[in-house]
Structure 1
């Protein structure tokens, strides 16, 4: 199959290249429309949760009671009572169009001292917009934002809708900056790796094709699922990184086959039979890892699952169709002039550094395995003390308006208008019963106030104020106690607000995580079994990949929850980690680790079929693949670095987690632990029970099918 695909792409190379150019232009143009189809917020909530149910009720019959915009006004030399402060501000507020506004509260409309800072040099205005749609509220905010500004006063915008708008804008800025920074670095590294500009340009060509195509994939997904704002940055950058990795492997193998004296057509065919097959299996595992995210109902994870799987398959398709055609055009020019002049310059594999290191490890496999396992498990132990959070304004840069407003309200005001839990009562209850219920809620620890703020037919809304950190363990306890308070007889109460939605999101992720892990593990097992015909190798690979994740998770807890390196990385720790983080890291990092595992095991399998020696084949396989896997990981680290330099803490968290997981996997796991465990297992690594062996012989996809496909004569070392 892969041989036929390679022959087709090479023979019809002109049409393939023309079709690719057309696809790239159309996909980039049409796909850019996804920016106007974003679902507004990030979509972290569980649609079936109690908090979302309460939101839906208050959005319709009762009407929302939320501070979408909190405009904070400050003056260093004027107080709120000064006519030079109050006059221009009240005039500006009076001129703001009320078309999209349900409620506008200020110090002058409420006469409440809660709206004035302790030093009286600041006040805030709380505004509720009339739309129940996140995206529409952002547009309403932008329409009135300039009208809320006052000459002579410093104004900053906080509140849920302001935060959403600022996150959207920051995410798009980060995406453009990350790609503008990473592409030149990638080109320089590729030139250093291949020592040929033509060879270096090919992975970038495939990467750009996948990157433009990723926007088309994202827009396609919007027709049946809302797309999260964060999906734009994650998917487009990963699409670029995966495509470059796959193309790197293909170009590397093609160069090797050309150095071995094969014709261009034969080199393309042999590359597709070996590396093409490896890429297909690797991409399938990565795509299925993303697909595991679809077990979660939140828009963020669901859209990331659909889009991630689609972009991964697109990267594989581009590599297996476009690249063979371009390689046929490039021919010997993929090698540097020096390599073309001196075809015998390759170092024999038995003299390579990785070959010698692998034999050193295999002389003491048990000791290496024990030490590395203990170290990786130990690195993961800090994660046991994790405190979960949900994204909020804390994900923004420290100087972002929404974050500064929150900090100012918490430090200088007696009441933070954003700290509200809303209770929705369904059922018939009179005023006395509702007031009694409010008093019971007010008696819960850490609740500052509880009052009825709206009623409709057999429905009521209560606003519950609090002053503790909504991401703290105390806030979770408060929500649990509020939900345990009995509502008026014959009614049902539901709670929403930041602390309540955090509880629901955390519970949703934790309850679904085992199913996602099971799905990814089973799919990985099946794909690896079909690739290698062994039941031992898939189990070993899954366990080793979990060890890579262990080190990453432990480091993330120390860095982002405890604040290690916060100054270096440029963020302010909040004592918690976003609960979506481990899910995203498992999907991406586990898939990438399996990616490199398939690269390595495929070459070990090829060498074992050639030599018949299960020990020597390990050393040869590592030697042939170590440099290219390390190079692929280095390029991916550059791409993932776009997450690390992001101004959004959530993206920074994902970037650091992926970077650590990739580095640990490529160096410690792939370079040391895999050879050690493979040596301990010996031939048993390739074992499968007889019934499954017959299944594999019938349905499995072999690396080498017969002598007509590819000969197994000894070859020089790869690069």
Structure 2
């Protein structure tokens, strides 16, 4: 199939190029015409907190969205006269905004250093998000009129706006850095401008097309907030890799004397086949995110599947057309120094020197590399996962800094929990619960008991700091002690944003084993079917686990301790954000298959040519090493860019992916894989008898059988 597609594109290049451009234009048009849907609050309801939210909604007892304006005076005791005047200005401006339902009375902190003004908004959270700019503008105007005071605003809507602005800035920064960086690495790999530009151009067009096609799909799989980041991250990595595999093989065949069309067909039969298998492996791995039964993961999986499919399609269709139209001009204009350096090193020049002792002493190489991977993986045994929260957000976001200061000065603005009870004595039970909670000195009231019919709701605020560990302790106190003791047989549930975050993190931990089992079993079956070898399938699974274990170990070392804070510009939360391990696992299994399938394909070519197992490994590794190294360099560099971003989730994702790909492309693929293949010999291909196959010639069109 890959040869037939490549042949059609090669013989009808302008049609293939035109169809690709039309595909991209249509996709971008979809993105402009169809607004991408976002997840709603109820989409993420889960566990006991989800039950609480549902009961509150059904009873019509949802709290109205609110914002708070904090007034301080540079750490000194607040001037009440100046603050009172500022509050009067705020009240005047806020009440003039249609979205504001009411403005409360100022509340002063116990130490007199701060005061707050509560503002209640009309409608729901979506309405608050639509009107938050007006409130922020009003606060900014009052701040400008009172320069001697510090006047800041915080709340659910303003905090979300600040976070999304940070995400947008991070994404823009990643785009600005990753594109020229990727082009520079391609220039090092090819030594020619056109050859370097083609993979980057195709990858970028695949990212744009994927975001367009995802827009209508978002109605079934709404964006949880990370789709654009993930599409850029994965799209640039796999898009460049697939084009790189194909382009390198086509250049190699041209150097052997084949014409451009013949070289394209041979590349389609070999590298094109590997691209299809690799792309399918990534898609299968990403499908594991659906097992997690989480709308955010489902959106990531859908978007990633789309961008991988588009990248595969582009490498099989428009890339052959471009290569045929460009012909030998693909290696123009040359960068003299880089071109000579590439020619002097030759394919696999560096890896051949590394591989020689591995092939000579495979047992020793396997033991040493295994010890190194285990050493990296050991810290993963102590990896702690918690949901992200205020403590994991960058303090560079003004609203995060304001919210932190607000909770410090006013404990009643801390972590809220909504306790909902249903029954004839629901309200009386909640009053008892409030008394017990206040008596424990761990909670303060967050308002009066609200009741509608037989359902009542009480809000309690924890006096603990807003951290994941303290949130879990406060939640356990309510669910395991206070609520059972005071509410008895009354139906009850503890919810609220803090409880939802804790339940979400626990759900991710519970689903991780199922995701791992799903991905490993499917990839094992796929590799066994592709290579007709049980041994290859088992080796693939073990090597994938080795890369993932090393990744988790490094994550634990970096983010659960403080030694890397200055290096990566973050404050250690002491844990890994709960969704990161699940996401990294499926991504890493898929991406590691890129190199694995490509390298094994070259080794199998040598075995089919009648080479000995050791010689086939040597030939396959050295001939593919240049491509693998270049592809890994692209992935590591793109992922490292994300490690420099502000959001700690992006940092953890970038560090984890960069380390895993680096370990996978060096220790795993150049040391562990060849040593295992040499030790297994022909048994590696059992029950497939490759040695019985007719030796193939380098110019044999029957390479399509590979």
Give the TM-score of the pair, scaled to structure 1. Answer: 0.89
Q: 1:436 to 1:337 in 2, by over 3 A?
A: closer
Asked if 1:455 is matched to 2:451, the reply is: yes
CA-atom RMSD in angstroms = 3.0
CA distance in 1, matches of 2:58, 2:256: 71
CA distance in 2, matches of 1:260, 1:600: 20
Deviations 1:301-358 (A, max 9, x none): 111111111111111111111111111111122235789999x978887x94423432
Contact 2:45 2:500 in 1 (8 A): no
Contact 1:104 1:127 in 2 (8 A): yes
- 1:350-499 matches, cutoff 5 A: 352-411=349-408, 413-429=409-425, 431-442=427-438, 446-449=442-445, 452-484=448-480, 485-486=483-484, 488-499=487-498
CA distance in 2, matches of 1:362, 1:66: 69
How far off is 1:536 after superposition? 1.1
CA distance in 1, matches of 2:527, 2:401: 50
Asked if 1:143 is matched to 2:139, the reply is: no
How far off is 1:59 after superposition? 4.1
Moved more, 234-243 or 270-279: 234-243
For this pair of structures, how many residues does the alignment match?
689
Deviations 1:476-500 (A, max 9, x none): 2432332233253552111123442
Asked if 1:173 is matched to 2:166, the reply is: no
Contact 1:13 1:326 in 2 (8 A): yes
CA distance in 1, matches of 2:113, 2:238: 53
- SS of the equivalent of 1:709 reads helix
How far off is 1:80 after superposition? 4.6
Asked if 1:89 is matched to 2:87, the reply is: yes
Deviations 1:55-106 (A, max 9, x none): 2333453433376433322233985552222113233224314643456444
Contact 1:117 1:123 in 2 (8 A): no
Moved more, 593-602 or 272-281: 593-602
Deviations 1:431-465 (A, max 9, x none): 43331233344456833457643111111111112
Contact 1:393 1:403 in 2 (8 A): yes
Which residue is equivalent to 1:610?
609
Which residue is equivalent to 2:667?
668
How far off is 1:32 after superposition? 4.8
CA distance in 2, matches of 1:613, 1:629: 23
Contact 2:379 2:556 in 1 (8 A): yes
- 1:578-593 matches, cutoff 5 A: 578-593=577-592
Q: 1:63 to 1:501 in 2, by over 3 A?
A: same
Deviations 1:547-577 (A, max 9, x none): 1121211111221221221112111122222
CA distance in 2, matches of 1:302, 1:704: 46
- SS of the equivalent of 1:317 reads helix
CA distance in 2, matches of 1:289, 1:256: 31
CA distance in 1, matches of 2:104, 2:696: 70
Contact 1:286 1:592 in 2 (8 A): yes
Which residue is equivalent to 1:5?
5
Contact 2:416 2:446 in 1 (8 A): no
Q: 1:363 to 1:442 in 2, by over 3 A?
A: farther
CA distance in 1, matches of 2:187, 2:131: 49
Counterpart of 1:709 (choices 697, 702, 706) is: 702
CA distance in 1, matches of 2:261, 2:423: 75
Contact 1:420 1:497 in 2 (8 A): yes
How far off is 1:430 after superposition? 5.5
Deviations 1:584-643 (A, max 9, x none): 111112211111111111111111111331111111111011111110111122222331
- SS of the equivalent of 1:145 reads helix
Moved more, 612-621 or 137-146: 137-146
Asked if 1:324 is matched to 2:320, the reply is: yes
Q: 1:62 to 1:265 in 2, by over 3 A?
A: same
Counterpart of 2:116 (choices 120, 124, 140) is: 124
CA distance in 1, matches of 2:371, 2:382: 19
Which residue is equivalent to 1:600?
599
CA distance in 2, matches of 1:339, 1:169: 40
Which residue is equivalent to 1:14?
14
Moved more, 483-492 or 620-629: 483-492
CA distance in 1, matches of 2:575, 2:64: 25
- 1:90-105 matches, cutoff 5 A: 90-97=88-95, 99-101=98-100, 104-105=103-104
Q: 1:502 to 1:164 in 2, by over 3 A?
A: same
CA distance in 1, matches of 2:465, 2:374: 32
- SS of the equivalent of 1:71 reads strand
How far off is 1:704 after superposition? 11
For structure 1, which runs of at least 5 residues remain unmatched after alignment? Answer: 697-701, 713-719
CA distance in 2, matches of 1:131, 1:669: 55
Asked if 1:260 is matched to 2:259, the reply is: no
Give the TM-score of the pair, scaled to structure 2. Answer: 0.90
CA distance in 1, matches of 2:459, 2:25: 52
